[in-house]
Amino acid sequence: MLYCGAAGSLLYIAMNIFIPFLDKEYNWVTQTVSELSAVDAPTRPLWFPLGIIYTLLIAAFGWGVLKSADRKRSLSIVGVLLIINGLIGLTWSPMHQREVLAAGGGTITDTWHLVMATVTVLLMFLTIGFGAASFGKGFRFYSLVTILVFIVFGILTFVEAPNVNKNGPTRYLGLWERINIAVFMVWLIIFSINLLRLERKPSLSILNNDKDSGKDLSSIVPR
């Protein structure tokens, strides 16, 4: 399950790269990721099932982190946060397209979409924060830089976001949002790699101890 973190992140990155090509009118620099799954968007039929797979992979990764925590509190918290992040991802509702929102056609689904977006960003912050405490100084510094990037581009996103409902200009909204998404996905990949290395250490230690004691390893090492 620890591989699910990298798998889910790579899937989401691929979704953001390739699915926009299905809509010639979509502009990934000016438009948000949510507009790919908007009501009646031509990209929604593909985004929706892949989005479910992504959220399930994140939840599975969280379960793997929780099982690997070995009484380490920070890892246990990260595992729970990832499970929550994955499972609530199944409750996201689609927003309406900009033209509909500007004409006053927004519904409760749009409100819930904004609520879920806010909750998800908060979960990302907490995941990075508690995850940073799970490894050494290098990873903590990297996590701090990730959080700073989140804050800077989160503010830039927040400044332009109100224009979506007005169908107004959002010059770089999609770019700012995707930078935040990318840094979190890369953080998840590096976090999962660190966990996988941590999981391998005990077995490597056993092999090294057996070599030092002169034991025959043929019985435990598959040929």
Residue pair 181/32 in contact (Cβ under 8 Å)? The answer is no
> Would you say residue 204 lies in a domain?
no
Q: Mark 168-177 as b/e (b = at least 16 C-beta within 10 Å).
A: eebebbbbbb
| Pick from 75, 76, 56: nearest CA to 4 | 56
> Would you say residue 77 lies in a domain?
yes
SS3 assignment, position 103: coil
DSSP character at residue 42: T
Q: Mark 179-211 as b/e (b = at least 16 C-beta within 10 Å).
A: bbbbbbbebbbbbbebbeebeeeeeeeeeeeee
Cβ burial of 32 (10 Å; 0-12, 13-18, 19+) is buried
Residue matched to tokens 């990209």: 43
CB atoms within 10 A of CB 69: 18
Tokens of 156: 């830039």
DSSP character at residue 24: T
> What's the half-sphere exposure (Cβ side, CA atoms, 13 Å) at 55?
16
Domain count, the chain: 1
> Would you say residue 208 lies in a domain?
no
> Would you say residue 201 lies in a domain?
no
> Would you say residue 112 lies in a domain?
yes
DSSP character at residue 213: T
> Would you say residue 73 lies in a domain?
yes
For residue 37, the enclosing domain spans 3-194
Cα separation, 162 vs 155, whole angstroms: 12
> Would you say residue 15 lies in a domain?
yes
What pLDDT score was predicted for residue 72? 82
Total residue length of the chain: 223
Residue pair 15/204 in contact (Cβ under 8 Å)? The answer is no
The series of mean pLDDT values per 10 residues for the chain, 223 residues long, is: 93 95 94 94 95 95 89 89 93 92 92 92 93 89 94 94 92 95 95 86 44 39 34
What pLDDT score was predicted for residue 164? 93
Cα separation, 47 vs 34, whole angstroms: 10
> Would you say residue 43 lies in a domain?
yes
Cα separation, 28 vs 134, whole angstroms: 35
| Model confidence, pTM | 0.84
Tokens of 16: 């953001």
